[in-house]
Structure 1
């Protein structure tokens, strides 16, 4: 009987309806907030990885200002060769 007494109060019923609406039925519900937080964390991790790659690329680019370094990079990384050379690529399995 005492439990039913609390549910007869219109303020408690209104508060319960409001809480249920805000938690589950609204556009910005709990599940949507959690999903967005997970997406944000994933994007922040990707951003950190891309910033590291950018820093490495910028360092490589700065090193390529010299002609000797440019030629070495082209030969080692891009497998460029001179006209009178042959290139053998050894792949470790």
Structure 2
């Protein structure tokens, strides 16, 4: 009589771990994906905070001018810009 219950328990456990649509493996995969997405969420929250700070800085006209000069190489009339690149600041194919 006891062997029948043990056999049913073993079959049920094997079914729940491997074959059921809510199996342990599927739950593990989903939990891993949730952890990955929460990591992405934290990263993007930091990026949003950084972008908001940058936007607030750019409301100042002097800061906006500095940003335009550095990022887009803009210049004033009758002004020349010389770009100086050092050997270690130049990206190569190895840098990716």
Q: TM-score range by the shorter chain?
A: 0.7 to 0.9
Partner of 2:57: 63
Alignment of 1:2-81 (within 5 A): 6=2, 9-81=3-75
Q: How many correspondences in the alignment?
A: 87
2 CA distance for matches of 1:22 and 1:67? 64
The TM-score normalised by the length of structure 2 is: 0.75
> What is the DSSP-based 3-state SS (H/G/I as helix, E as strand, rest coil) of the residue aligned with 1:13?
helix
> What is the DSSP-based 3-state SS (H/G/I as helix, E as strand, rest coil) of the residue aligned with 1:84?
coil
How large is the RMSD of aligned CA atoms in angstroms?
A: 1.9
1 CA distance for matches of 2:8 and 2:45? 50
2 CA distance for matches of 1:86 and 1:43? 47
Alpha carbons of 1:37 and 1:88: their partners in 2 closer, same or farther (altered >3 Å)?
A: farther
Q: Which runs of 5+ in 1 are unaligned?
A: none
Alpha carbons of 1:29 and 1:88: their partners in 2 closer, same or farther (altered >3 Å)?
A: farther
Q: Which runs of 5+ in 2 are unaligned?
A: 91-96
Partner of 2:94: none
